[in-house]
Amino acid sequence: MKKNVLFIVIDSVTNDILFNKDNSSDIAPFLNNLRKKSISGDKMYSEAPFTEAALMSLLASANTMDNGGYMEKFKNIDNFSKYFKENGYKTLYCNYYPSICPSYMVRDFDEILYIEGFQFMHLWDYRFEYFSKLYINGETTEEENKMLEFLMEDNFKHWILYLEKLLNKDKETVMLNDCVNLEGMKKDVETLKDEYSKFIKNKSKYLMSLFSSNGEHVLFKIKTYKMTDKVHDDEFRQKIMKKYRYVFKDIKKKDFTRNLVNNKFPYKKFIKSLKKRDYTTVKGLLAGYKNSLFDKDLFGRIDENYDCFKVQRSFYTVSQEFFKWVEKNKEDNWLTYIHIDDAHFPEIFFTYDTNDEKIIDEDMKRAEKYVKNLPKNYKGSIAYDLSLSYCDNVIKGIFEFLEKEKLMDDTIVVITADHGFSYYFSPVREKYVLTNYKENYNVPFLIYGKNVKPKKISGYCMNKDIPATILDLVKIKIPSNFKGKSLLKYDGDDHAILEYMGGGCPDIKRRPVKLGVRTDNYSVFVEVKISENFNFDNITEIYDLKNDPYENNNLKDSKDIMNKICKEIDIIKTLFLDLKKEYGEN
């Protein structure tokens, strides 16, 4: 009999926090125990430090910048769910929000459930704003013009579709239907349809009007319909605020006292930066240390609008919708993809979107116990630990559901993260997210099934190996274009790679690509345009991991370092030359 697959991605999790801290078993007891019975390892890496880029390798088993990269998401490459669908599986995308290139986020799924609404500003901020000046000045290519027209059309369609689903209380928007204020929505749908008609009549003229409007175009005026009330009970919110504010006060106290004593400030890096008059790094380090002492978002998690602290739905609420879907489809083989946001900055650690007091009581009791038993030598972010504890408990509930439904024997569960977490403040950093530090890329993973033989992968592996492993486990042929390898037959490599375009629009033709490699000895990073030739001036960071495991001392200006990193440079050169060849820049 075929195996079902539940693929859970917890956004923003660093492996060492979940599994290798002294108190990791207190943070996530269920997952730490499950790991002993699973395929797992400590050297799993993402190629990129944020979701949009990281998902290319995680869901398509490709290098991030293959096939045009993530400019149009999965338009030019297949999501691994395609192969399940072709083999008779029912497929559910349980965490959909239409963004940038909506059609190709979900094309290989039978059913979707919205977890968040459409936001035009995603398209503008991460694509259109970048290209607008180029377009106005006639500097875009014909290929780019077609891409921009496609993105505009695709977003028009899915913007209208999203609003119409809300108006009709569609089953796909079940987690949003009662939480969005519909006032003015019908009028906005008509406006969008009118604008879409204008666009279709003359696409280039419409884009020119949009790009040259300085934010005054009608599309900027249309309301963003987000969830604004998830609890629907002001008295209940007030009750929860008063009942559990003491927990947050205790977190505040211990964040300060534990980190003040235990969290080391990187004095050498600070003094070195001061001598160089690198005041950006100086200010960043001071801010990072301050953030370890004071969680500025702490009480926002329990204020009068705590149910909207996060724009998405809670992991618990998503799990309940998953249960309903499974109950309807339990006679079929299925693949479900769940990607949740609870541990993503700013993280949260209780079921903020319920009016069931018992559920919140259990969440807060667990949080209170963790804070009470915090080790004397603790350092880090208590709120983040608690968010992982919350996710751990929801996953435990999912396993209990699968056991109750007698599905556990026939289900493989895959748990990982798309990328790591920047805001733990231990070690103290000068900047976050768009950095090359280990914590942004080293992610946890475990693959569990009743008949899956436990195995600890000793070498480096990449999240592009996960789709290949899943297909191998369910005996679906691994496509020849997959760059990942099945971890059933592979014990990892001697290095991990990094590949993405930095923040903003991923224009590989004009902007430098970020490439990196990590071995047991060194981590090395470069920024280079594919139209140029690689040279040592492109190297931005080098760290000696044996002597500087926290990557505080950048050796790129050291005289004798180049002779020590020949292996790492060769790996990066190979990545770079492959990209040049793919994009016709030889």
3-state secondary structure 6-57: EEEEECCCCHHHHHHCCCHHHHCHHHHHHHCCCEEECCEECCCCCHHHHHHH
What lies within 8 Å, CB to CB, of 74 at 6+ separation is 56, 59, 60, 101, 104, 105, 107
DSSP 294: -
Task: Provide Rg for the chain, Cα atoms.
Answer: 24
Measured distance CA(362)–CA(383) in Å, rounded: 16
Does pLDDT of 193 surpass 80?
yes
Q: Report pLDDT for 106.
A: 82
Question: What is the value of pTM for the model shown?
Answer: 0.96
Measured distance CA(442)–CA(418) in Å, rounded: 10
Residue 48: exposure state from Cβ atoms within 10 A (0-12, 13-18, ≥19): buried
Does pLDDT of 224 surpass 80?
yes
Q: Give pLDDT tens digits for 470-502.
A: 999 999 999 999 999 999 999 999 999 999 999
Measured distance CA(426)–CA(432) in Å, rounded: 12
- Identify which of 307, 310, 316, 298 has the alpha carbon closest to the alpha carbon of residue 245: 298
Q: Report pLDDT for 9.
A: 98
Alpha helices in 373-421 (DSSP H): 382-404
Terminal CA-CA length for the chain:
49
Range 377-404 average pLDDT: 98
User: In order of start, what are the domains of the chain with their CATH numbers?
Assistant: 4-228+313-356+382-493 (3.40.720.10), 512-582 (3.30.1120)
Measured distance CA(221)–CA(223) in Å, rounded: 6
| DSSP H or E stretch at residue 380 | none
CB 486 within 8 A of CB 469: yes
| DSSP H or E stretch at residue 459 | none
CB 111 within 8 A of CB 91: yes
Structure tokens at 60: 């398509």
Q: Report pLDDT for 586.
A: 65
How many helices (H) and strands (E) the chain has is answered by 19, 14
Q: Give pLDDT tens digits for 155-187.
A: 999 999 999 999 999 999 999 999 999 999 999
Structure tokens at 467: 């789709």
What share of the chain in percent tops pLDDT 90? 96
- Identify which of 339, 298, 345, 526 has the alpha carbon closest to the alpha carbon of residue 440: 345
